[in-house]
Amino acid sequence: MKKILDHLTPKKVVMGIILFLLMFSVVSLVIVVNTYNSQFPRYERHDDTITATLQYASLESDYPRNLVDFYSGENLLQGYLYESDYDRGLVVVAHGIGGGADSYLPQIKYFLDQGWRVFAYDATGSFDSGGKSTKGFPQSILDLQAALKYIQTQETLTDMPLLLFGHSWGGYAAANALHFDYEIAGVVSVSGANSAMEMVIEQGEQMMGGFIHVQYPFLWLYQRMLFGETASLTAVDAINKTETPVLIIHGTEDEMVKFEGSSILAKKDAFTNPNVHILPISEPGQNGHNNLFKSKASHAYIEEVNKAYRKLYDTHDQDIPYEIKQSFYATLDRSLAQDLNAELMATINAFFLECIK
pLDDT digits (tens, 9 = 90+) for 176-230: 999 999 999 999 999 999 999 999 999 989 887 877 888 899 999 999 999 999 9
Do 16 and 63 fall within a single domain? no
Buried b / exposed e along 95-124 (16+ C-beta atoms within 10 A): bbbebbbbbbbbbbbbbbebebbbbbbbbb
25 falls within a domain: yes
216 falls within a domain: no
131 falls within a domain: yes
Do 302 and 330 fall within a single domain? yes
Do 242 and 313 fall within a single domain? no
Q: What value does the mean pLDDT take over residues 41-69?
A: 96
pLDDT digits (tens, 9 = 90+) for 67-112: 999 999 999 999 999 987 778 999 999 999 999 999 999 999 999 9
Do 301 and 164 fall within a single domain? no
Q: How far is Cα 93 from Cα 164, in angstroms, rounded to an integer?
A: 6
Do 107 and 14 fall within a single domain? no
| Res. 41: pLDDT tops 70 | yes
Do 259 and 188 fall within a single domain? yes
H or E stretch at 276: strand 276-281
Domain with residue 107: its CATH number is 3.40.50.1820
97 neighbors 169 (Cβ within 8 angstroms)? yes
Q: How far is Cα 95 from Cα 170, in angstroms, rounded to an integer?
A: 5
Closest CA to 172 of 255, 97, 98: 97
49 falls within a domain: no
Do 113 and 259 fall within a single domain? yes
Do 83 and 142 fall within a single domain? yes
Closest CA to 72 of 149, 128, 168: 149
Do 186 and 319 fall within a single domain? no
pLDDT digits (tens, 9 = 90+) for 243-293: 999 999 999 999 999 999 999 999 999 999 999 999 999 999 999 999 999
Domain that holds residue 329: 295-339
Give 187's contacts (C-beta < 8 A, 6+ positions apart). Answer: 163, 164, 165, 166, 174, 175, 177, 178, 244, 245, 246, 247
Would you state the torsion angle of the CA atoms of residues 189, 190, 191, 192, taken in this order, to the nearest 10 degrees?
-20
- How many domains is the chain partitioned into structurally? 3
210 falls within a domain: no
H or E stretch at 93: strand 90-94
Do 66 and 116 fall within a single domain? yes
What strand order describes the sheet that includes 276-281? Answer: 65-72, 75-82, 117-121, 90-94, 162-167, 186-190, 246-251, 276-281
110 falls within a domain: yes
